[in-house]
Amino acid sequence: MNKLNLLISTLTVLLFIIVGLTESKVISGNHYRSQSNWNFIDKFAMTLDSHVTIDIEFVKGDMSSVLLYSDKHWDYIIKNDQLTCQELESMAEAKIDNGSPYNENYPIPIYQQRARYWYVVFSNCIAPADKMDRTHLGKYSITMENRGDKLNRVISADEQFTPHMSIIALIVLFAVFIVSVHSISVQTNLGYRSEVMKLFTSAVVLKMVSLLILIGYYAEYYAQDTNLDNLKLASNCVDIFARSVFGLVLLLLSQGFNVSTMSPSLFPRVLTSAFFLVYLVYSLAASIFYDCLAKLYRVQHYYIDTAIGYPILGVVGCMFIYFIFSTFHTRSQQLDATRRKLLCMVGCIFSLWFFCYPAATIISHFVADTVRFRSVTCFNQITETLFYMIFSGLFVGCSSNKFIHIFNPISTHTNDKLKTLDI
């Protein structure tokens, strides 16, 4: 309990620190002549009540412009490489150059009927592009501010509420971790096998690490460090590892691993290992590949809701069928009523875990771009945390829990001891 209080206090302090760091998103840096006349800088999803402030120092005679594009034309722009610089400039919703009043730190109001992405681009259609010319053309600072509390005001609209949910999920998972460690300790003291609970605890730890990386991403984001895409990718990769391990736990438990009086044969073990490796390797490859593609085309989708990600749903579907078959096949072989009840509960409850994958994909497919990331992320965090809580609750180490006593003994000579011990 003291450790839980310490974590809550630490996260509360972190929350107040990152809230106090800034009240708006600032994109800043130095502008140089580059090998292209049209250069993408960054993007930001704006809510209805929002504004952009441009503060840029142009060198004398510089003909560069800062262009603001909404998502109205962006898909067309990135898919048409033949557009000229002048055509690209003509599609911009706002243009700021040496003759614009907005370069003197005036806010630019954003008029829109819905939340939408805005893209920042530097262009110079007059001067010829030169790969060798790195002339310094000035400094720029672009301030973007959304509506909402201090956390939501700074971040892009498609990520709002994600930091809040991540912190809450981390606190809950830390409590789940404490319960799981206690259950392992009880099982070990009573001489029961605890491999399943140890594997589940490792999944919880991986999920916590994923959330810590994501929270670290937002902490650095509030500190105005914009080169953080790799942190978000790292968080997703660790999360995939956690999901893979938890899926492995469910498949092993469905075969009666540690709880059945009959050990699973070689074939089910090999098939379970194959499911684990295929899901883990392919999901990691799809996530990394999509991340590279998203950076190239400046778009953001749920990686499973893509052509390369759809096979993951097929793998999960096969795992679900195998999980249901194994669970009820193992249940039919048990004579003990408590074991039969446990396997029935596992099959009924955790079959829903597999349905979370198509559910998240459907959410991603049909919601607007400006809420896709936060909708999918919050949905996954809520469902994963809920299933982890249920799993740890099934095997919590307390005297009233009958399921803690159905685990197989570590060795046969401890059977008499197990009959006399109670928690």
pTM over 0.85: no
Kindly state whether residues 224 and 343 are assigned to the same domain. Answer: yes
Q: SS in 3 state form for 327-370?
A: HHHHHHCCCCHHHHHHHHHHHHHHHHHHHHHHHHHHHHHHCCHH
Measured distance CA(26)–CA(377) in Å, rounded: 24
Q: Tell me whether residue 10 is in a domain.
A: no
Helix, strand, coil percent content, the chain, rounded in steps of 5? 60, 15, 25
Kindly state whether residues 363 and 403 are assigned to the same domain. Answer: yes
Residue 362, both tokens: 């459907």
Check residue 325 and give its pLDDT.
93
| Average pLDDT of the residues in 54-66 | 66
pLDDT band at 13 (very low <50, low <70, confident <90, very high): very low
- pLDDT-wise least confident of 67-71, 86-90, 140-144, 337-341: 140-144
- pLDDT-wise least confident of 104-118, 181-195, 240-254, 408-422: 408-422
Using the 3D structure, point to which of 148, 170, 202 is the last residue of a domain: 148
Domain count, the chain: 2
Kindly state whether residues 137 and 228 are assigned to the same domain. Answer: no
Q: Tell me whether residue 154 is in a domain.
A: no
Kindly state whether residues 114 and 172 are assigned to the same domain. Answer: no
Q: Which domain holds residue 368?
A: 161-420
Kindly state whether residues 409 and 309 are assigned to the same domain. Answer: yes
Contact predicate 125/85, CB 8 Å: yes
Measured distance CA(401)–CA(390) in Å, rounded: 13
Measured distance CA(77)–CA(190) in Å, rounded: 66
Check residue 119 and give its pLDDT.
83
247-257: pLDDT as tens digits? 999 999 988 88
Q: Tell me whether residue 116 is in a domain.
A: yes
Bridge partners of residue 109, in order along the sequence: 51
Kindly state whether residues 189 and 94 are assigned to the same domain. Answer: no
Kindly state whether residues 254 and 362 are assigned to the same domain. Answer: yes
Q: Alpha helix locations (H) across 140-265?
A: 150-154, 162-190, 195-222, 229-254
